[in-house]
Structure 1
């Protein structure tokens, strides 16, 4: 059976339209929304804004040099597990950057196969190596997010983002161990596992990630700037289209 792949331009247009709708809903109806619905919309805003922004940033290099650059995201809303979300779909550039910087060195250290620099007296078991890799990678992610928001907002770090990423790492490790234990005996339908994954991400994000963003005013500022952008496009969209055609 042939898999139907939508036209990329249509897909990007739909994402841009959806981003505009999400921004307007968050701006005009946030007082009437359940906190978890608001968090889901905020996550959608974050994802769509980042993906569209990153895509626009590579248009010029692609046009100049004629090669495809690696995408930052791989449809994260289709994630069926935390492993799928963090490893294969969300912010792939960071994942691929952490692999040589964190994954390979830690594996060499923990297994004692890294030569004189990385060799340890006591080697770790493979399962312990995996735990070290996961926790260390998420610790670095948490630290970088804390540092980034400190530079952007100049607000004192609270450690909530670090806790968010550590929680993701711990739960990801639990998920991996459960998969090993159950093997092929239990298999959830992708729709069920995907829904559970998204619910977990929404709840934990609402609990640990967004509170610091909201307290510092970064969320309101970003929303206001996006609303201005949407109003600009609505006002000047016809002029931009006419200019492009001519």
Structure 2
């Protein structure tokens, strides 16, 4: 049986080709689905389904539709898969009943706003009705939007003229090499760099939005290439949009309040300690579930975009979740909770990137096979 990350996938599940429709038609379909989502969340108290079953039902719809209908553009399909899923997930933790349809569409800014978690949560729960910014703050946000656009263009230029010429041809040839072969390790890191620079298109898009609206939003990335540990990479530097969404979903303010209340309710110190330990275990399991959920989401993306899935993205994210869990456990055992610095940071940086050079091949394999065959 082939190993994950080899030229032949260990698991190969395919689905039939979709019904190809024009992008404007697909836009109409998803516009109708978003309206359905809003109505369902708006009047969820009057529906026979509970909150969790309703969320699962809507997620099932948004998982099924891309498997049935698609446009001829992979980029458009990615947009239509990601945005509705993002809205459904976010809407499951905010009081949609307090929003008009237009306010609900705009509410995603509360998640991406460059502000404190407390202020974002007050805005999301409508305890602060609107975001008020001074003219100076709006001007500063627009300038940062222009800078973000320039940075995004710069990333695409670096990708095209510095990274792409170094990639193997065909792309999938790296999958025939031994795992520890220098070319395999280097190529895997280059593919990761290409993915990062390619997502400069997100900088351009969000930069245009920030320049137009004058509302400050966070960057998609926070210098991921200087991460010194897996936890730092995933929780503070890579895809901060998804990091915020998952953190809100898994570690919601309500859950933190419940945890805190349960701890304070006990007078006996030993019982307090046991509760604290249980809370810690629960947080670790919830954190690991974020990685597993992300892996499943990427498998759905593979199935929708490429009409096949191999389980490798799920394996990759599960491995990364276990790496982060190991780091947290070691820090707890040693009491070393501060950021790495000096020679420790250098060693941590090298170890982190060796981790990605070794395991990143599992993540990249489905993409390399697909784009080598097209």
Tell me by how many angstroms 1:184 deviates: 4.1
- In 1, Cα distance between equivalents of 2:281 and 2:204: 41
1:200 aligns with 2:355: yes
Tell me by how many angstroms 1:218 deviates: 3.5
Tell me by how many angstroms 1:130 deviates: 2.4
Judged with a 3 Å threshold, the aligned counterparts in structure 2 of structure 1 residues 136 and 29 are, in CA distance, closer, same or farther, namely closer
- In 2, Cα distance between equivalents of 1:64 and 1:11: 17
What SS does structure 2 have at the residue aligned with 1:189? helix
1:149 aligns to what? 302
2:132 aligns to what? none
Judged with a 3 Å threshold, the aligned counterparts in structure 2 of structure 1 residues 62 and 173 are, in CA distance, closer, same or farther, namely same
- In 2, Cα distance between equivalents of 1:220 and 1:202: 23
- In 1, Cα distance between equivalents of 2:300 and 2:231: 25
Deviations 1:62-96 (A, max 9, x none): 23212222100001001011110000000000000
1:76 to 176, 201, 224: 224
What SS does structure 2 have at the residue aligned with 1:69? coil
1:159 aligns to what? 311
Tell me by how many angstroms 1:41 deviates: 0.7
- In 2, Cα distance between equivalents of 1:113 and 1:185: 25
- In 2, Cα distance between equivalents of 1:185 and 1:105: 23
1:172 aligns to what? 324
Judged with a 3 Å threshold, the aligned counterparts in structure 2 of structure 1 residues 164 and 185 are, in CA distance, closer, same or farther, namely closer
- In 1, Cα distance between equivalents of 2:293 and 2:167: 31
**Gap runs ≥5 in structure 1:** 1-7, 115-122, 222-246
Judged with a 3 Å threshold, the aligned counterparts in structure 2 of structure 1 residues 165 and 185 are, in CA distance, closer, same or farther, namely closer
1:136 to 278, 289, 292: 289
Q: Is the 8 A contact 2:153 2:201 kept in 1?
A: no
1:24 aligns to what? 165
2:250 aligns to what? 102
1:120 aligns to what? none
1:4 aligns to what? none
**Structure with the higher helix share, 1 or 2:** 1
Larger-Rg structure: 2
1:15 aligns with 2:155: yes
Deviations 1:132-169 (A, max 9, x none): 121111111011100011100001x2221111111111
1:36 aligns with 2:199: no
Q: Is the 8 A contact 1:110 1:129 kept in 2?
A: no
- For structure 1, which segment, 99-108 or 83-92, has the greater mean C-alpha deviation from structure 2 after superposition? 99-108
Judged with a 3 Å threshold, the aligned counterparts in structure 2 of structure 1 residues 90 and 53 are, in CA distance, closer, same or farther, namely same
- For structure 1, which segment, 100-109 or 177-186, has the greater mean C-alpha deviation from structure 2 after superposition? 100-109
Judged with a 3 Å threshold, the aligned counterparts in structure 2 of structure 1 residues 140 and 105 are, in CA distance, closer, same or farther, namely farther
**Which one has more relative contact order, counting CA pairs under 8 Å at least 6 apart?**
2
Corresponding residue pairs, total: 203
